[in-house]
Chains A and B, each alone.
Chain A
Amino acid sequence: MQKLSVENNIFLPQVVQLIQEGHKATIIARGNSMRPFIEDSRDKLVFGKVDRLMVGDVVLAEVEDGHFVCHRIEAIKDGMVTMRGDGNVEGTEVFPEVNVRAKLLQVVRKGKTYTLTNSRVWKCYSAVWPKLLPMRRYLLALYRLLWLHQLPRRWTRSGAASF
């Protein structure tokens, strides 16, 4: 089996189109911005059509032309959505509600499927994790240290080391 890599700005509009046609689509998660639950290249994301948007939902949005981001909704006000990645400390995306292209329905994490509307694990995580924002920087550092075995860059000479 070969690996096929396609640029997001080309690939995701096609995925979005299929979703608008009523399909669901499964893609590989890329990036670290939805840690600690979702991990780059390890996990899969199942997207479907957007229905009602609620704070706490994880959605795929076209924040700028051709630039797609999948983060958690932090606020919806006056037709504008604010999103923040679970793995991000600072930095949010703010954009019009109409730019939301798909909703995350399931996460296949380490081979196990979590359906977001049914999963107790996901619901607990989603209820708790955003509330820990003041401590997020340290929790993520701990996650990298203990689970990903990555030393903080400042502690290593070369700047990137694992153990």
Chain B
Amino acid sequence: MKIKNGFELRDVCGENVIIAHGVENIDFTKVITLNESAALIWKQVEGKDFTEDDMVKILLDEYEVEEPQAQVDVKKLLESWLKAGLVE
């Protein structure tokens, strides 16, 4: 899977905000923000094809976390990205 074309992660006033280019109207009244670890994963997978395992690996590399926990966290994160229509 990959991050859909046109979505970009931007620092807006200290928050990691997903901005949709190509969308004419950027709605700041409802924004999607990523926390630090989600933003880290995003930055490492954007522009390329990735799998759920790739995401888990990024967490394991960066944080002191057990693999089962990382898998649970990634599953949740990926679900929210899919639900928000960020990933295809």
Contact = CB atoms under 8 A, between A and B. Distances in A.
Contacts of B26: 18, 23-26
Interface string B12-33: 1101000101011111111101
A33 to B, nearest CB: 19
A23 B24 contact: yes
Nearest to A24: B25
A11 interface: yes
Interface in B22-55: 23-31, 33
Interface in A1-49: 1, 4, 6-7, 10-11, 14-15, 18, 23-28, 44, 46
Contacts of A11: 12-13
Interface string A135-151: 00000000000000000
A46 B23 CA distance: 14
Contacts, number: 39
B24 A14 contact: no
A6 B13 contact: yes
Interface residues of B, number: 15
Counting chain A residues whose Cβ lies within 8 A of the other chain, the interface size class is: 10 to 19
B31 A18 contact: no
B22 to A, nearest CB: 9
Interface string A82-120: 000000000000000000000000000000000000000
Contact of B31 (A4, A10, A23, A46): A4
Of all A-B residue pairs in the complex, the 9 with the closest CB atoms, nearest first, are A24-B25, A6-B13, A26-B27, A10-B13, A27-B28, A25-B26, A23-B26, A14-B12, A28-B29
Interface of B: 12-13, 15, 19, 21, 23-31, 33
Given A23-B23, A25-B25, A26-B27, 12 more contacts: A4-B31, A6-B12, A11-B13, A14-B12, A18-B26, A23-B21, A23-B25, A23-B26, A24-B25, A25-B28, A26-B25, A27-B28
